[in-house]
Homo-oligomer: A and B are copies of this chain.
């Protein structure tokens, strides 16, 4: 089922004595979520992701705007009739029910033709429990589970009823890498197989990018960019999106375009075409640095961090916004940690220029 959000806005009354006006949690969000796709919702903490999910599932009433499921306006439909499944950021497991009862709970709500026999229910429940590997915990109460286990129960509970629309609010935040990967792939697999339209909130951009069909980047309630993950990564529309995606984050330099060249400090680091002379923000992805003995960008070396398969070269530069510049290189690259400076060349496709005033992207002609 495709979901249309039209001008969706949600305001909360403010409490902050100093600030005034409402907290605008979601601000005129318009977007058509294609049928059967998995959408990743990304953004910094407090940008309105959970609120958006709450609006879609009907737990919050929008201050403005409409929501359509398919062609039908569901803006005023109470949540229990929307047929959505949801994993809450805080799990919201029923504390008085065992894990099994928690998972069975949505199934027991089915009415009419949908109604399942007891054994079918159990079957479905244990299947869902299997997906997230909690078969051993079926008789425990939520309070006797670890954080990750609780989260897995919440996922099983959302999946078990095979909803029309699946909303996942940071469903994997408490899982370890392996389980996270596994679960995320299970979710992806189920989603692909059942074509349930899914919205997946995560702060982990790698996660978002690897499983989403499209990602939506939000900031303070306002959508910044929507697109295929790699497109957004490779072609951010503004400084915020560029900064937001990528770990380690993009490195931002004070730069100048002078005579068709980007200069950082005194060094002309990259030729750019079709951009009038002006001050700019220059963003360089960590993998945009090439270790080069005679590279134009000279930074003072702080150290090298090893991160499993890669090394991260940590350095500083007076014109860099980031306190530390991180450049990623394969761990086979040797860096002389004794030396004081390190010199880089920049890969053109990994460098983006942004307007100094509003942070909008400046594209080469």
Contact = CB atoms under 8 A, between A and B. Distances in A.
Report, as a range, how many residues of chain A touch the other chain: 35 or more
A55 to B, nearest CB: 14
Nearest to A173: B173
Contacts of A247: 177, 181, 308
B177 A204 contact: yes
Contacts of A147: 45, 50, 89-90, 169-170
A309 B330 contact: no
Interface string A169-184: 1100111111111000
Contacts of A12: 144
A76 interface: no
Given A140-B16, A308-B287, A46 B174 contact: no
Nearest to A285: B309
B328 A246 contact: no
A203 B248 CA distance: 18
A306 B42 CA distance: 18
Interface in A137-182: 137-141, 144-149, 151-152, 169-170, 173-181
Taken together, the copies of this chain in the complex come to 2
Interface of A: 12, 15-17, 19, 42-46, 49-51, 89-90, 98, 136-141, 144-149, 151-152, 169-170, 173-181, 203-206, 209-210, 229-230, 233, 243-249, 285-287, 305-310, 328, 330-331
A45 B148 contact: yes
Contacts of A148: 44-46, 203
Contact of A181 (B137, B146, B149, B248): B248
Contact of A287 (B19, B173, B310): B310
Nearest to A201: B147
24 contacts: A15-B98, A15-B139, A15-B141, A15-B144, A16-B137, A16-B139, A42-B176, A45-B147, A45-B179, A50-B147, A51-B146, A89-B146, A147-B169, A170-B173, A175-B203, A176-B203, A176-B205, A177-B244, A179-B203, A233-B306, A233-B308, A247-B308, A285-B309, A309-B328
A174 B171 CA distance: 10
Interface centre among A15, A42, A233 (most CB of B within 10 A): A15
Contacts of A90: 90, 147
Nearest to A245: B308
A146 B176 contact: no
